[in-house]
Structure 1
Amino acid sequence: MATVMFAGGAGALDLNLPPGAELVATEPAHPGDLSIAHGPFTAEAGFTTLARGIVQEFTWQVPDAATQSSAILAGAVSAQLDEQGYEIVFACADRACGGFDFRHALSVGEAPMMHVDLSDYRYIAAERVEETGERNHVAVMVSRGGRTAYLHLATITPPEVAPPPVTGSSRTPEQTAPVLSPTTSPRLIERLFATGAAALDDLNFQTGASELSGRNYPSLVTLAEFLAEEPARRVVLVGHTDAEGSLEGNIALSQARAEAVRRHLIDILGVSPDQVAAAGIGFLAPRAANDTDTGRQANRRVEVVLSTTD
């Protein structure tokens, strides 16, 4: 596990990276500024903001990362940032970011330590506002080259709080970041091809709530990777509810749940909006009786339906 530490009131940012991840380059902490993207590249208007403070940059390489796609690794980092109080202010994938122009307008590490494949990269910008009003910024670029994954991370902290250097830990990464493992991929994708639909069972919705209860969902990373492999693939996310409340209200709620999952795929995992649609059918297709808490929880779900064939 690699650990990036912030001092003082900013607390600590702990990132679980894949086994074998090696810190290959660092830029010592220094006062300065860094351009952070807040939207895709446009020639007409600025798409970056200038964050000032103590700047520090890190680059990792993950050799033999055949199972760690850019989408999986970026999704893992994004989920961990969210869990530690950071708001994802912008995220994008290669062509949707702006390709060549986007990449070369930002500081994302130097070759050969950092490699960015212009057709396969993910960018994340995040910030956390402390109780004092101070802002901590994080900018992440993830890409691949051959069998190696590359990750560049920049931090900008308030000028009066200098971050200590990166430290490494040999302890086994905790199971709080399962998105790093693609072990769910074969089962989900096999089910999708075999039956045309699969439940995204690791999603969590409370009764009456349309928002996801977190961002750490292996099934969504798996689905994002599946869609990224073939741009012609199309899916529909279908929301389902338990039977509490009216049919009309539950159809609206299930639609909102499907839309929330769609937004996560697009905003956090970089899926093309053209590849994923959303619909809701309320409690019309239960998979368990609604007279127990267990049954109602099982019925609050989103399923993915394959709408094209390979």
Structure 2
Amino acid sequence: MMKRALLIFSTMLLLIKAGTALAQQDDDHPLVSRYAGSTLQTKKVEEFGEYKLITNRTAQGDFLSEMLKGKVTRIIYGNPAERSTLEIFSNYRKALERAGVKTLYVCELEHCGPAFARSAWGRYNGLFAASDGDPRYLCGKLVAQGSTAYVALMVGRARSQLDIIEILGMEEDKVAVDAGALAQALDREGKVSIYGIYFDTDKAEIKPESKAALDEIAKLLKERATLKLFVVGHTDMTASLEHNRALSAARAQAVVKELVENYGVAATRLEGHGVGPLAPAASNASPEGRSKNRRVELVAR
């Protein structure tokens, strides 16, 4: 899978350029060239690693993040002294958008200054450019030929940090769901965790790849015509308690709505609730634990 993904990205030839403002050089990542006049300071490549991507900010000022796994390339460039952070950032942003990169989140100046650099994501990834002054950040997602890459860009006054994360297949902790196993777990423990229902970070819209799990839940409810369930959303400890409880409730209610409207399950058989991070399945101190905590549970009523 790793070799296949790298081959796809190598042959895509998406050398992202903005007129003459960006210039490809041998040390650049093949997906994104540097701003013209920039000098390479450091480059680090992990063939398979973890990366904490900041994806949004709550009204309370907490930065939300998503843990990614794949090939991680981190590059720091020295900026040309005569260019402003706005000019450099704008060139990168326009070039990325023209290449098909979907912008997920943008923050500029006081909205992503020292607080951003001190955030968990900043500490985790060593975001040096954020401390240079006049910071501007964006993250984006590129999907092409069945492969996915994320781009994180931070432009500061003296330096720019460009990180590219190439996703190399499904995470190992995503397990298949079948109606028989769900029934056994409910009989044994009165509840069962579902890890096959997917949402984008900080969103409550169910992603299409959740269909297999939803099919099996609907099958279970059809086979057990008297079964009633609480559908309970859970999150990790990222962001505030209030935010996570609201998000988990919205996700649980989205699952209920999907089963009622598209699978014909009677609304009286399902109730959606959210508890946020209050009932963890594992420690939130590790990426693996946080991944286990982000789940939907079915609880027999």
Structure-2-length-normalised TM-score: 0.39
Please state which structure has a larger fraction of its residues in helix: 2
